[in-house]
Homo-oligomer: A and B are copies of this chain.
Amino acid sequence: MRKCVGVVDTTFARVDMGSIAVETLEKHLPGYKIIRHTVPGVKDLPGAAKRLLDTGCEGVITLGWIGGREADKLSYLAASVGLILVEILTGKIVIDVTVHEDEAPGDPEKLKSIAVDRVVKHARNLALLLQRGPEALVREAGKGLRQGYPDVGPL
């Protein structure tokens, strides 16, 4: 069976992060089958990630979009716990990407560019970890890398 990697995104997001992830993974993981699963919102991501991993995928990238209300922040927390739990229970890699609307209030262009950059960089992270194993990112350890922003570098 062909190796498989999953992409989970939402209809709530205001940028089609799923397509960007698919494109980036295709480039970095030739030969992998990419399965996409779209759900309504961020709280639906962990269950969807679990279902994809249960079908045999080796890893998943999840793409959440977080609104600015207090309830959204709590949803972010609940989803984060859930995604971590999926990773613990399956033993597989889940790269959890989120964009927060309050990162660029009133500046949709900036928010969009944050989203694009973050997805591209994290899809690459997922690909590297799947291809080269646990030590794939060691040479970048402690380097102050950022996704969605320029790297800040080591102190």
Contact = CB atoms under 8 A, between A and B. Distances in A.
A39 B95 CA distance: 9
A58 interface: no
Contacts of A138: 18, 36, 38
A138 to B, nearest CB: 5
A89 B76 CA distance: 20
Given A51-B91, A91-B54, A142 B46 contact: no
Contacts of A38: 134-138, 140-141
A9 to B, nearest CB: 5
A29 interface: no
A142 B134 CA distance: 31
Contact of A19 (B40, B78, B94, B142): B142
A80 B88 contact: no
Nearest to A80: B78
Interface string A122-155: 1001000100001111101111111100001111
A98 to B, nearest CB: 8
A66 B70 CA distance: 13
Contact of A51 (B44, B125, B134): B134
A96 B61 CA distance: 21
Given A51-B134, A141-B10, A154 B15 contact: yes
Interface in A66-110: 66, 70-71, 73-89, 91-96, 98, 100, 108-109
**Pairs of residues from A and B, 3 with the lowest C-beta to C-beta distance, nearest first:** A47-B87, A16-B142, A78-B80
